[in-house]
Amino acid sequence: MLGSDGLPTRIFILVLVAACVAASASARPSGVSSSPFVACSDTILTAAQPTQAPDGAIVYAAGDDLRSVQADGTGLTTVYRSDSPIGAPDVSPDGRLIAFDRRSLREIWVMNRDGSDAHFVTAGTTPSFSPDSRHLAIGGAVTTIWYVELDVVDLDGSDRRPVAFDANPFPEPSWSPDGTRIAFGSFIAPFPPHGFPVIRIVGADGSDERSRGTGSSPRWSPDGTEIAYTDDSDANVPATIQVFKVDGDPHFHRVGPRGRLFDAISPAWSLTGGQLTFLLATTGYQSEEGLLWRIDANGRGRHPIASGCTFGTGSADHIRGSLRPDRIYSLEGNDVIDVRGGRRDIVDCGPGRDSVKADRRDVIARNCERVRRGR
């Protein structure tokens, strides 16, 4: 497997690790470890275009594979293995199916959630299930030298109809939860490859198309009020994750993160809308491949998806250690951590006023304000 410019994946990951260390600087434990990512490097995940399944798992593409992992980094499995690169997976809202595209072949495939019965449906790119799980929105036929159709098609490939004619070749559409509108990626005319990527919203019947902000990879929130997207409108500035209100107040706010060495791309909402999964990709190697990270929708609680550590949120948390050796990063908020009675634990409290109950052999970072140790 190669990185986006042909570098071997091992080298690509090492470059990306350096970027992730910089991304984690604000959460560095004092005297414990250089960053949460390094401490949890037992589950490095190279990924592309994550999506949230109704059962809570995160499904993502990785080269020729489709994989699934829980938000805490456990349960990593390969769902399906292709004979060519695949991307843009989407799990149907009823949880039964996964759709994906085969990149170089521009083919849409659908299979069962367990990876069985994978089959070709139609030509196209970046499929997205409608809320009723009966239709797909996809990138379709070329309309000009740079634009393609945004099509809606039934799951068997029939009744295909265009709803827009100015989508980019990989529009990554996203349906509103009520099924009435579709957000998709486009370009600002007249010179798309040299202009700005733009997000457009169109009615599912093709009506009332309008532009809303510059960026790509739009993802509608579960409550239908916001869209998260990749702000990659300035090629001279690393990409970051932004969120805007769909209707009413046009305010945009950055969820982040932003740094010199990495791009934050491809957001995916959690089932409740409280968190976003995204990719950290080394700037200059972006393509669509990176490492899976998680962040609260308010921009707090940033951490890698890794099974080797326990992470808090950006709010006040109560975290209880296990009998095993724990690595705990409680992140922001006024947290209470109890690691008494287990094996030797490592605790980093992060920002906030935090309290820790620990055994004498446990390693507690200096950013934990109140520490009570037992024998």
Residue 3: the pLDDT is 38
CB 195 within 8 A of CB 187: yes
Structure confidence at residue 375 as a pLDDT band (50, 70, 90):
low
Average of per-residue pLDDT across 255-284? 85
Range from 5-9, 39-43, 305-309 that averages highest in pLDDT: 305-309
To the question of pTM greater than 0.75 for the whole model, the response is yes
Residue 213: the pLDDT is 82
Chain region(s) in the chain for CATH 2.120.10.30: 42-304
> 286 pLDDT exceeds 50?
no
Structure confidence at residue 179 as a pLDDT band (50, 70, 90):
very high
> 116 pLDDT exceeds 90?
yes
Which helix H or strand E contains 148, and what residues bound it?
A: strand 148-154
> 357 pLDDT exceeds 60?
yes
Residue 194: the pLDDT is 59
Residue 22: the pLDDT is 47
Instruction: Express each pLDDT in 71-89 by its tens digit.
Output: 988 899 999 999 999 999 9
Average of per-residue pLDDT across 340-362? 93
Of the candidate ranges 91-100, 232-241, 310-319, the one whose mean pLDDT is the lowest: 232-241
Average of per-residue pLDDT across 204-214? 92
Structure confidence at residue 288 as a pLDDT band (50, 70, 90):
low
Residue 42: the pLDDT is 55
| pLDDT-above-90 percentage for the chain | 64
Residue 348: the pLDDT is 93
> 43 pLDDT exceeds 60?
no
Q: Cβ–Cβ contacts within 10 Å for residue 195, how many?
A: 14
Query: CA angle at residue 330 from 326 to 334, to 5 degrees?
Result: 140
Average of per-residue pLDDT across 178-200? 83
> 108 pLDDT exceeds 90?
yes
Superfamily of domain 42-304: TolB, C-terminal domain (2.120.10.30)
Average of per-residue pLDDT across 283-287? 57
**Mean pLDDT for the chain?**
85
